[in-house]
């Protein structure tokens, strides 16, 4: 399976956000829908936080 685009990752995050799940279930479902191992979505976000509307930690 090919690596999903960051646009697809953002789309799935938005879909799952609408379900209003608890944090752990939220992130697990995003990873499952994308066929990624848990933690890989965070790599996408870390690579381009502005694209995902995330603010980098002030120490970085």
Tell me: the pLDDT tens digits for 28-37? Answer: 999 999 999 9
* pTM beyond 0.95: no
Closest to 9 measured CA to CA, from 38, 25, 36, 23: 36
Round to whole Å and give the CA distance between 58 and 40. Answer: 22
Round to whole Å and give the CA distance between 3 and 54. Answer: 21
Residue boundaries of the structural domains of the chain: 6-47
Closest to 30 measured CA to CA, from 49, 38, 47, 51: 38
Per-residue pLDDT tens digits for 11-60:
999 999 999 999 899 999 999 999 999 999 999 999 999 999 998 677 75
């Amino acid at each position: 399976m090919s690596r999903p685009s960051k646009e697809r990752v953002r789309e799935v995050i938005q879909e799952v956000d609408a379900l209003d799940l608890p944090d752990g279930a939220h992130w697990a479902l995003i990873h499952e829908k994308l066929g990624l191992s848990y933690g890989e979505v965070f790599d996408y976000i870390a690579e381009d936080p502005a694209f995902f509307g995330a603010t980098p930690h002030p120490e970085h």
